[in-house]
Amino acid sequence: MIRLAVFGDEALARELAPRLRGAAVDTRETPDACDAVLLVETNREDAQLALRCLSAGKHVLLTAQAWLSSDVLAALSAAARNAGVQLAVANPDRFLPSRQLIRQQLDAGKLGEPGLIRVHRWEPAATSGQSSELPTPLLRDLDLALWLCGKPPDVVYAVEPAIVALSLGERERCISRSEMTTVVQVHLGFPGGGMALVDYADRLPPGEGYQSLSVIGSAGAAYADDHQNMQLVYRGGGPQGVLAGEQGQRTALMTQDFVDGLTAGRDFSPSVLAWQNVLTVADAVRESLASRRAVVWEGR
Amino acid sequence: MPLPATKFRCAVLSAIKHDYVARGLASHPRFELVVVADDPQIPDWAHQRNEEFASAWQIPYVRDVERALREFDVQVAIVSPEAERHCDLSIRAAAAGKHIVQDKPLATSREMAGRLVAAVEENKVKFLMWNRNFVPAVEAARRQIAAGEIGRPFAVHLDFYFAKDAGPPKGTRQPGDPPLDWQAHQIAAHVDGADGGLGREPLGELAIEGIYPLGYLRALTGAQVRRVFARRAAHFHQLYADSGVEDLATLSLEMEGGLVGSLALGRIGASSHASGGEIKLHVLASEGALVANEARPEVGVYYRGQPAKEARQRRVAGDNDFLLAENFAVAIDNDGDTILDVHASHAIFATIEAALESCRTGQPVEVS
């Protein structure tokens, strides 16, 4: 039985406790009396906490975040190696039931060789902070594309709108990068001819966001789209769409995978490498946006 | 009492590819098919198709294009031969002073595209590239954007997949077997309408169907594409791999006014969608966004023993043919522009050319 600590999030601990097999869940303030630590939706300040946990000989599962830079990954990986424990970096979106189903179909050969991964994610402006980093949700979508294609890209091209028109009544003007919310379109090419288009924007009005994932393979395709998962509510006027969501099981599935891996003695270093690959692509996205050229890696 | 609207007599200049263009125009009471015509030197199978169409419409088939244009008192030429003959027939129709409705693609070469534009301008005839801009979902999206419902667009993303087969899957050709023949396949595919690339010259899906989603882009934004980055692959079908053309392509687009966009299109195989293909519009704008399924409204129909290739979701309430024909008639009446005229079609052709160049160079290309 893995003793799993969830730091400072009692609600999450209560949510996970009845669902997990092979683990006992508790909240902790310090890394003692546990085997592994779950750090979900953290921020930059939690890097020290992760380091302390690893150094104290605890396995750590960190959800993939924009602040997990190459330097931080390297430091955490070194601490894990020195302590002989596992550092896992997980993209929780991989564990959405729809994404798990699509991955299963790919693994079973039902869809053939992935040819095109198409991702849309639109969020309200308030969910993203003003930052020079590419937002975590966009990085997670890049990870999805790489994960579903099964390899890193060899070409990266990115564009963003030059002018974002302002609300009615405001003068239309060119907005500097620091003022803009993020609207980025990433175009990836993969060795062997596969492609991905990842569209991210945090310019929706306040309210719900939108997500869509299509995987077009040589033998079949899968479409996971919020559009087709809308229920209708009539309150006068036109009907409103209410999303039949799937977010609820995501963290539990991610955590169960971690617990199962620890029990089986799995090496989680590929998860760290996967996030490092995303960071490399993110660097290429920034380079492409600045240069207006495609970034090409020869010989990949 | 208003005068009855003029009826336009139409010559069908080759019906060997998509006879739906002629049938679509004829669905409007102001257009009457009066003759089918083609050049005498075309192959027998092509003459046979023309004769069958003429017979079905109970109109003559003439193996002399200029005679048909001269002697049958036509005002309109409907052009739907193989892609490599589109421009030649349209140019000849323009020279004879006939308004033109042409099947896609516009042309198979930049030179011919330029000559067609010049011929239409010089002869002051109307030109309509047959398109899908009046399908209900696209028209509804256009109206919402025009009414300012979501503000000013800054990004438009289009998915345009035809879930159709084009011969055997890629990787199935046995060692020693000859490459598949493009034209032979297209001729055989006519029976189920999957012959969009009919002709001797292989055409990738960007050339075959790119006009449709890029036509949507123009309808929704009115913006010209200035720069394009593209990737392409023969991913699904042995025919496309053997012919050196793509059945899958992705484009990143930069447009005037600072808009960006993307297009993903392909002939992705019949197994990859229940009803012929996923076609979607995503528009981001200053005050909101919209997501539209281009196939709607539709009805689901399922029954025991249903053939695997029969669509489960059927489009209904489509009025594209009538509205295109009406648009064309009004343009002729009022000396106005059609919804997709020769200049807009040429701009789309140039975008596709730039996309193909980008595929070759691996870098973005300015659209000239």
- Mapped onto helix, strand or coil, the DSSP state of residue B342 is helix
Interchain proximity A195–B259, CB inside 8 Å: no
Q: Which of A122, A138, A159, A188 to mutate to test the interface with B (most CBs of B within 10 A)?
A: A159
**Per-position b or e across B79-117, b if 16+ CB within 10 A of its CB:** bbbbbbbbbbbbbbbbebebbbbbbbbbbbeeebbebbb
What would the pLDDT profile of A155-180 be if each residue is shown by its tens digit? 999 999 985 434 333 444 444 433 45
Instruction: Give the closest-approach CA distance of B229 to chain A in angstroms.
Output: 8
Interchain proximity A227–B229, CB inside 8 Å: no
Name chain B contacts of A169, Cβ cutoff 8 Å: none
What band does B8 get if pLDDT is binned at 50, 70 and 90? Answer: very high
Angle between helical axes of B86-95 and B110-123 (0-180°, round to 10): 20
What would the pLDDT profile of B271-314 be if each residue is shown by its tens digit? 999 888 999 999 999 999 999 999 999 999 999 999 888 888 99
Interchain proximity B233–A210, CB inside 8 Å: no
Is B364 in CB contact (< 8 Å) with chain A? yes
Strand B279-285, strand B153-162: pairing: antiparallel
Interchain proximity A216–B248, CB inside 8 Å: yes
Q: Which of B159, B172, B263 to mutate to test the interface with A (most CBs of A within 10 A)?
A: B159
Q: Which of residues 29-48 of B touch A (CB under 8 A)?
A: none
The span from the first CA to the last CA of chain B, in angstroms, equals: 50
Calculate Rg over the CA atoms of chain A. 20
pLDDT at A176: 42
Instruction: Give the closest-approach CA distance of B100 to chain A in angstroms.
Output: 37
**Per-position b or e across B292-320, b if 16+ CB within 10 A of its CB:** bbbbeebeeeeeeeeeeeebebebeebeb
Q: Which of A117, A157, A227 to mutate to test the interface with B (most CBs of B within 10 A)?
A: A157
What gap in Å lies between CA B97 and CA B125, rounded to an integer?
6
Residue ranges for chain A with pLDDT beneath 70: 28-31, 126-132, 163-180, 299-300
Name chain B contacts of A200, Cβ cutoff 8 Å: none
Instruction: Give the closest-approach CA distance of B204 to chain A in angstroms.
Output: 15
Mean pLDDT of chain A: 89
Closest-CA residue of A relative to B362 is A294
Q: Which two structure tokens, joined as six digits, stand for B167?
A: 């011969």
- Nearest Cα neighbor of A114 from A149, A140, A69 is A149
Interchain proximity A218–B286, CB inside 8 Å: no
Indicate the residue type of B326: E
What would the pLDDT profile of A77-132 be if each residue is shown by its tens digit? 999 999 999 999 999 999 999 999 999 999 999 999 999 999 999 999 865 555 55
Indicate the residue type of B275: S
What would the pLDDT profile of B88-142 be if each residue is shown by its tens digit? 999 999 999 999 999 999 999 999 999 999 999 999 999 999 999 999 999 999 9
pLDDT at A181: 75
Report the run of H or E that residue A254 belongs to, with start and end. helix A250-264
Do the beta carbons of residue A1 and residue A17 sit within 8 Å?
A: no
What would the pLDDT profile of B192-248 be if each residue is shown by its tens digit? 777 778 888 899 999 999 999 999 999 999 999 999 999 999 999 999 999 999 999
Count of residues in chain B: 368
User: B5-9: long-range contacts (C-beta < 8 A, 24 or more apart)?
Assistant: B5/B30, B5/B329, B5/B333, B6/B30, B6/B333, B7/B31, B7/B32, B8/B32, B8/B75, B8/B76, B8/B99, B8/B329, B8/B332, B9/B34, B9/B72, B9/B73, B9/B74, B9/B75, B9/B76
Instruction: Give the closest-approach CA distance of A299 to chain B in angstroms.
Output: 14
Interchain proximity B288–A204, CB inside 8 Å: yes
Is B226 in CB contact (< 8 Å) with chain A? no
Mean pLDDT of chain B: 94
Instruction: Give the closest-approach CA distance of A103 to chain B in angstroms.
Output: 16
- Nearest Cα neighbor of B76 from B338, B347, B344 is B338
Interchain proximity B288–A185, CB inside 8 Å: no
Report the run of H or E that residue B207 belongs to, with start and end. helix B205-209
Taking one residue from A and the other from B, the number of pairs with CB-CB distance under 8 angstroms is: 142
What would the pLDDT profile of B18-49 be if each residue is shown by its tens digit? 799 999 999 999 999 999 999 999 999 999 99
Is B293 in CB contact (< 8 Å) with chain A? yes
Is B271 in CB contact (< 8 Å) with chain A? yes
Name chain A contacts of B280, Cβ cutoff 8 Å: 225, 227
Instruction: Give the closest-approach CA distance of B253 to chain A in angstroms.
Output: 8
What are φ and ψ of residue B34, in 5° steps?
Answer: -120, -20
Task: Provide the phi-psi class of B70: left if phi over 0, else alpha when psi is between -120 and 50, else beta.
Answer: alpha
Q: Which two structure tokens, joined as six digits, stand for B225?
A: 């594409």
Place of tokens 């189903």: A101
What gap in Å lies between CA B281 and CA B31, rounded to an integer?
32
Asked if pLDDT for residue B159 goes beyond 50, the answer is yes
Instruction: Give the closest-approach CA distance of A293 to chain B in angstroms.
Output: 6
What gap in Å lies between CA A153 and CA A300, rounded to an integer?
8
Name chain A contacts of B229, Cβ cutoff 8 Å: 157, 159, 187, 294
Count of residues in chain A: 300
Alpha-helical segments (H) within B210-299: 211-221, 238-243
- Mapped onto helix, strand or coil, the DSSP state of residue B191 is helix
Name chain B contacts of A296, Cβ cutoff 8 Å: 362
Interchain proximity B157–A155, CB inside 8 Å: no
Distance of CA A136 to CAs A72, A92, A262, B71, B220, Å? 15, 11, 26, 69, 31
Interchain proximity A116–B264, CB inside 8 Å: yes
Q: What is the dihedral of CA A26, A27, A32, A36, to 10 degrees?
A: 60
Closest-CA residue of B relative to A186 is B252
Interchain proximity A227–B280, CB inside 8 Å: yes
pTM recorded for the entire structure = 0.93
pLDDT at B4: 64
Listed in sequence order, the residues at least 6 apart from B143 whose beta carbon sits closer than 8 Å to its beta carbon are none
**Per-position b or e across A154-190, b if 16+ CB within 10 A of its CB:** bbbbbbbbeebbeeeeeeeeeeeeeebbbbbbbbbbb
Do the beta carbons of residue B339 and residue B131 sit within 8 Å?
A: yes
Nearest to B154 among A164, A168, A204 (CB): A164
Indicate the residue type of A140: R
Asked if pLDDT for residue B337 goes beyond 80, the answer is yes
Nearest to A118 among B148, B159, B234 (CB): B159
pLDDT at A167: 38
Q: What's the order of all strands across the beta sheet hosting A183-189?
A: A221-225, A210-217, A114-124, A195-204, A183-189, A155-159, A295-296
Tell me the β-bridge partners of A23: A2
Report the run of H or E that residue A223 belongs to, with start and end. strand A221-225
Closest-CA residue of A relative to B170 is A218
- Mapped onto helix, strand or coil, the DSSP state of residue A300 is coil
Closest-CA residue of A relative to B230 is A187
Place of tokens 């293909």: B277
Listed in sequence order, the residues at least 6 apart from B157 whose beta carbon sits closer than 8 Å to its beta carbon are A120, A185, A197, A199, B261, B262, B263, B281, B282, B283
Q: What's the order of all strands across the beta sheet hosting B127-129?
A: B61-62, B31-37, B8-13, B76-79, B99-102, B127-129
Nearest to A165 among B159, B236, B286 (CB): B286
What gap in Å lies between CA B143 and CA B101, rounded to an integer?
25
- Nearest Cα neighbor of A62 from A279, A121, A265, A51 is A51
Instruction: Give the closest-approach CA distance of A193 to chain B in angstroms.
Output: 6
What gap in Å lies between CA A267 and CA A270, rounded to an integer?
7
Task: Provide the phi-psi class of A41: left if phi over 0, else alpha when psi is between -120 and 50, else beta.
Answer: left
Is B152 in CB contact (< 8 Å) with chain A? yes
Interchain proximity B155–A161, CB inside 8 Å: yes
